[in-house]
Amino acid sequence: MYTPIIGTLGYVLSPDRTSVLMVHRNKRDSDTHLGKYNGLGGKMHSDEDLLSCIKREIHEEAGIECQEIIFKGSINWTGFGPKEESWLGFIFLITSFTGTPYVENAEGTLSWIKVEDIPFLSLWEGDRYFLPLVFDKDPRPFYGYMPYQKEKVLSWQYSR
């Protein structure tokens, strides 16, 4: 039986749409994502829908309120991370928000990164495959499958 962890992942664009708010996961030694840059998000609660989840996660992690949210796609990650968990992730682009983002949270330092500089960051290997789809101009969502083994991407496929 396939019972993935369901989560949301959001990428918040700056008002001029040239940068994205990312967290550098540098706070907890036990963090699966330690040292990596990531979007904001997390596990969905049993009493919420996907939109409520991404809004809550962005508010908890960055202290801002999402105003405009675009669903960009989903990814089925199997065997992900050191615990080799299965995740079904829903990815969003936040194009408008209110408030001032935190400079840090419990997971790490928050900073605005130029979109073109993202490939040069310390990322999960698989992020390099799907992030171009998050920031492209194609309005169609993508639906991806990315199996991992021993923290390495085995393959990547998607459709739109």
118-150 residue pLDDT tens: 999 999 999 999 999 999 999 999 999 999 998
User: Which class would CATH give 8-159?
Assistant: alpha beta
Q: Specify the pTM.
A: 0.94
Contact (CB, 8 A) for 113 and 20: yes
Give the Å distances, CA to CA, from 132 to 109, 120, 122, 135: 23, 13, 16, 5
pLDDT score for 148: 94
CA distance 88 to 97: 25
Task: Inform me whether the pLDDT recorded for 32 exceeds 80.
Answer: no
48-105 residue pLDDT tens: 999 999 999 999 999 999 999 999 999 999 998 778 899 999 999 999 999 999 999 9
Domain segments of the chain: what residues? 8-159
